Structure 1
Amino acid sequence: MFATSSGTDALKIALKSVGVGPGDEVIVPLNSFAATENAVMAVGAVPVFANIDSSFNMLPDDVERLKTTRTKAVLPVCLYGSCMYIDAIHRIARKADIPVIVDAAQCFGIRSLIGHCDLLALSFNPFKNIGSFGKSGAVLTRSPELARLARQYSYHGFAGSVKKNIKAQDWGLNSRMDNLQAATLSVKFHHFENNARKRCLLAARYHLLLADLSHKMTLPSDILQNTWHLFPVLLCQGERDSLFAFARERGVELDIYYPVLSHCGEHPLATGYSRREQFGASERIHSALFHLPLHNHMSFQEQNIIIGVLHDYFK
């Protein structure tokens, strides 16, 4: 593991380390934070969007469907903290000799992930389950060769030999974590396990206390390998805007964290994307999605208010 200046740079470094470059394709989910696709484009490659299901994670079958001779990496995202399908995606990619880079920015703490990828990218943005004072990230790998390349790309392409400032790569980033972020994390790591347990407890309380509304909304099914970065819900009955307005009047903010799917934006990549009809199922899932508040410092009293608002809306 080595530290970077951001999770986005961690993704760029990982992509370069497995040889992704101009004209290559990288399979990514269509519902992630923009950093996932931006990192692909930053190294000159083309993001190829894959469908999701109600786990909000990339479908393994879509990796099989979308891979071509130009596919140089698969980049699944553990969205909202769920790691569903990562092992299956890794098996499919290994058979095709395609490297897997896991965007684990939202699921720090699940140790088994490193066994299902070539490289793993983390983010320690202050909004993550564990965050530094500002932007920072990390790259993890079990491969000494990939580790060597990643270190070189992270700091101007320097070889890292005894003599400093000797380049081994044509180019590189200035992307090492600064000392302030490292110092902050060195303290916060000591509190991570307790905070992780708190998130799991809050998620369990949502499942328990909202079980009677299962015919109105669908709660996350991936409850074992999940860090609960966010708590996503699918609305089965009612209008999402109506629910949001009802909750807002009662002092509760519901949200759609990433409101626009990657192929639905107004920028050239989205407007020019071909065969948009292939994403119909993902669009239907996304149209029912919203998020309940959940964070390290939420009290049971605050959570009970949110649960009460949902019961009042659906009664």
Structure 2
Amino acid sequence: MKKILVLTDLSDNAAHAAKTAMNLAAKLNCEVLLYHAMTSIPIVPNYAGGAFVTETVSIFAEESNEKLKLLADELQAGSTMGVQITIKNGEGGLGENVKELIRDNDIELIVMGAPAGGVWDHLLTGSETRAVIRNTDRPVLFIPAERDTKSLLRLVLATDYNETDLCALRYLSKWVADYHCLLDIVHIQVGDDAALWRPEQKQVFEIYLTGLNYAGICCHDLRGNDPLSRLNRFCEDKKVDVLAMVNYHNDFFSKLLGTSQTFKALHHLQLPILVFPANFCDETICPM
């Protein structure tokens, strides 16, 4: 059965994200896998206290398991949806561990909690966060610490009509079909991208949407000198629940958000962000 992978550092913010994952799991008919990566303990070669180090690792693993069990119990107690939860921990960085977890499990989606500083700070500066995005081909949902996520029914896909964006659109259209979300596709242009955009790219999207014939999906073009500020206003006016985008390459977030007051404007919204990795393919998750 498909699973939603919840990466948790066992903080309150991560527990908040896990509650969101439970709601999504019920709607998507998935199980939840809670995973905690323990901090690696460096071992000096020929260290005489090797047995002590091994014992310490074991203690950390037991403590991690106990906390994961408590979190799982709390999630089950607070839910009437009957979602099955499994727990797992491991040692080392999240990036490589995520690759292994995807290989061994049928992962639909990855969920992470963002620290109190905000989702955008987390995306731009969090080394573990960027490592997860680089090492997965699954969408990653980042949940702000102070955001009420009981309802995730109003979605926005920010796009430049890239081919990978069409994969993201096909994936999100299944959310629209399965639990009646509203999806706005918003075309934004950053810097010199306007000169590179071709109308036929948009036509591919329009043909796909015509075939769907879903009333809950609409397209918009945001143009002007500051399209990202307009995206901010659009999300605010529409009371958007989730902003989705594709990470085309390693510097995408810096390129998109690293200018003027736009970062501060989007930061203020504190929206959950759904990131599709550059190598995302919806057919990997949802075979046609």
Please, what TM-score do these two structures have when normalized by structure 2?
0.32
Which of the two has greater strand per residue?
Answer: 2
Which of the two has greater helix per residue?
Answer: 2
Greater RCO structure (CA 8 Å; 6+ sep): 2
